[in-house]
Amino acid sequence: MAVPDFQSMMLPFLKVINDGDEHIVSEIRDLLAHFLNITNEERKELLPSGKMARYDNRIAWCQIYLARAGLIERTERGKYRITERGRNVLNDNPPNINIKYLKQFPEFLAFQNLSKQAEKQILSKEEESGHTPQEILESSYQTLNIELAQEILDQVKKCSPKFFENLVIDLLISMGYGGSRRDAGQAIGQSGDSGIDGIIKEDKLGLDIVYVQAKRWENAVGRPDVQKFAGSLDGQRAKKGILITTSYFSQEAKNYVNVIEKKIVLIDGENLVQLMIDHNVGVTEVSTYIVKKMDIDYFNE
């Protein structure tokens, strides 16, 4: 049989991992192929980009949507397990599971709201007819980026303080700060309170310094926290600071940094992962598509 679309694979996906054990992705691929009678040749069929198998791509999207609906959980990198909600869904014996079915779960609706416009353009044939192919391509790219950003943020929140320390160092160096990695590592080496604190060069020559504080928080970072950080700059003889959090800043905190003399940049979780994507930290390029248009000047005689 041909490889089913990813929505048709959602229910079989849940069924093959219904034992409650952890399953690595490669194992799930094998179990699902056997369940659906998909041949090795069909599993090797590539996407138009030629860089990923269509079968693997559709399983990846199954994982994304089922996880966003809370039917499966990622226990660690590359490992998944069915949740209690997932088992309850199977006990209800639905004829199929698709995007419409998943909309009953609030977590999935919250995820959809993040990319509502892009989702509509991709999934609704009626709306697709009103957009150009380039618009649909760009909205697809946006949806992929939104999911990638959320996946990275989830992973960052799970990492150890030491790993988070190295992540921030890698990001700042990729952005042009800190001089060498050795310099940055020496400047930012004191972990504590689920974060890092230290001084880093603003440029490779060290003409100015920036005080950096990074916290893996869940709740909002308020004005008192930012005021405390601003006060710590005096002790470091720094006039510039970067405050990074995996959560978000209150409006009072944002207003405060706009009225003080010191220059403090606030980077919340959403901006953090976007910077990681933009500067290729913790991400790998999968596909590159070049869109071309006709050069009308070439044909002018």
Please report, for the domain that includes residue 234, its CATH number.
3.40.1340.10
Q: Is residue 75 part of a domain?
A: yes
Q: Is residue 151 part of a domain?
A: no
Q: For the whole model, what pTM was predicted? A: 0.64
CB 20 within 8 A of CB 80: no
Structural domain boundaries, residue 228 = 161-267
Give the C-alpha separation, 22 to 75, whole Å: 7
Q: Is residue 83 part of a domain?
A: yes
Using 70 as the pLDDT threshold, list the residues of the chain that sit under it.
1, 48-49, 114-136, 138-139, 179, 185-197, 293-294, 296, 301
- What is the reported pLDDT for 257? 92
Number of domains within the chain: 2
CB 6 within 8 A of CB 61: yes
Phi-psi region of 193 (alpha: psi -120 to 50; beta: other; left: phi over 0): left
Q: Is residue 145 part of a domain?
A: no
Q: 197 and 254: one domain?
A: yes
**Residues in the chain, overall count:** 301
Q: Is residue 128 part of a domain?
A: no
Q: 260 and 174: one domain?
A: yes
Residue 206 in tokens: 């060290």
Q: 80 and 22: one domain?
A: yes
Phi-psi region of 237 (alpha: psi -120 to 50; beta: other; left: phi over 0): left
User: The domain spanning residue 56 has which CATH number?
Assistant: 1.10.10
CB 280 within 8 A of CB 174: yes
